[in-house]
Amino acid sequence: MLPVSFRKQARTEFDEAGDWYEKERVGLGLEFMVEIHSLIQRIASTPEQFPMLYRDVRKAVARRFPYCIYFRERNQHIIVLAVFHSARNPNLLKQRNK
């Protein structure tokens, strides 16, 4: 399994989404975090299973929650660029990764 690190903005998105779900229903924030961590483990195990969108950025889609993880592999390391709600404009992400 490859090591994983988050860009600061991606970590903030992840934490804020977990907090939002927890406020909606006690325990739901934890369920969100477990789902995203599980997806990150899949990414770390076999990143090439996820489609490449542009340049070297790949996208992994969560099953239960409307979130995608955008990431890249660099030097045998996974860098999480965004934990992005699927309703958001993906052009915001492209601007972030220049």
Q: Where are the domains of the chain?
A: 4-96
- Strands of the sheet containing 57-61, edge to edge, are 4-6, 78-85, 67-73, 57-61, 52-54
**Which amino acid is present at 25?**
R
Tokens of 98: 């220049």
Q: What is the pLDDT of residue 88?
A: 80
Task: Kindly report, residue by residue over 10-57, the tens digit of the pLDDT.
Answer: 999 999 999 999 999 999 999 999 999 999 999 999 999 999 988 899
CATH topology (fold) of 4-96: YaeB-like fold (3.30.2310)
Tokens of 29: 């924030």
The pTM for the full model equals: 0.90
